[in-house]
Amino acid sequence: MIVKRKKAMKIPGAEEWAGYKDDFNARAAHAFWFGKSLDDVLPFFAGSQSIQRGQELLYMPLAAFQFYILAFAQYVMSDVAIGDADAASTFLGFLTAREKREPGSVARIYDRLQPTIEFVAESQARFSAAHDVYGDFREKAAALAALCGKIFEPPGPLDEMLDSTDDA
């Protein structure tokens, strides 16, 4: 089941999509995404579609990207994404690629995405993402955080043991 966002957000309009006609990839993204809500696009991340959706997010105008990346974040946090290694890897990879392509595009919304980034980094087994195929999600999340001027400090095993003390 995919959990939907409670707070309604304004769907990006013509102003947020300004400049899309100047780039072939942005035009393709516009043809698919324009006028759709987060709930509308959420199902289109399932299965092998996450790679294509991530590619589209990479090239769309900034305001549209910062809106629609939230649907991708919702997807990877959902139960539907269990076992979807491509989605989890793509989520981290395209965030990094987007920040490199347009510095500040992810950094400005990093705090909003941070819980999802940390969840993906700490849940590699949940996505059935073998380290030898997909690399280490913690390392990818740390590199993304550094790129965005943030520090990625997931709880380590000692922190987890300290947090799970038994008061009995």
pLDDT at 160: 44
Q: Which token pair is 24?
A: 């072939």
pTM: predicted TM-score of the whole model, two decimal places: 0.85
Q: Tens of pLDDT along 97-150?
A: 999 999 999 999 999 999 999 999 999 999 999 999 999 999 999 999 999 999
Question: How far is residue 14's CA from residue 35's CA, in Å, rounded to a whole number?
Answer: 9
- Spans of all domains in the chain: 23-163
Q: How far apart are CA 162 and CA 18, in angstroms?
A: 50
pLDDT of 167 above 60: no
Work out the pLDDT band at 2, boundaries 50, 70, 90: low
How remote is the C-alpha of 48 from its chain's centroid?
15
Say yes or no to pLDDT of 168 above 70: no
Q: What average pLDDT is seen over the chain?
A: 88
Predicted pLDDT of residue 158:
42
Q: Which residue, 122, 131, 68, 77, is CA-closest to 95?
A: 68
Helix and strand counts by DSSP (H, E) for the chain: 9, 0
